[in-house]
Amino acid sequence: MPDDPTLARFQATLLDLLSRGLPPAEIVDRLRADSELAPYADYVATFEPRMIEVAVELVAKWGRREGGIPK
């Protein structure tokens, strides 16, 4: 599979926001506000608050970061 820098940035940004323990609405708002992540706007619109809450809990328990958000 070829490298996809936009996907890598989306994933890194999402992980970063989840790791901050932000409220679900703020996570969605920040993802939607990032113009570089516009290709994922339809996907982000499907996020349900409870799904994000569970993801925050999982990242808090099991997440580990290496590196930063790709440019």
Query: How far is 38 from 36, CA to CA, in rounded Å?
Result: 6
Residues 17 and 65: beta-carbon distance below 8 Å: no
pLDDT at residue 58, as a whole number = 94
Residues 44 and 28: beta-carbon distance below 8 Å: yes
Query: How far is 33 from 5, CA to CA, in rounded Å?
Result: 18
| Mean pLDDT (the chain, rounded) | 89
pLDDT at residue 9, as a whole number = 94
Tell the residue number behind the tokens 């958000």, with chain if given.
Answer: 69
pLDDT at residue 32, as a whole number = 96
pLDDT at residue 66, as a whole number = 66
- Residue 59: name the closest of 28, 16, 26, 1 by CA: 16
Q: Mean pLDDT per 10-residue run, the chain (71 residues)?
A: 82 94 96 96 96 95 70 57
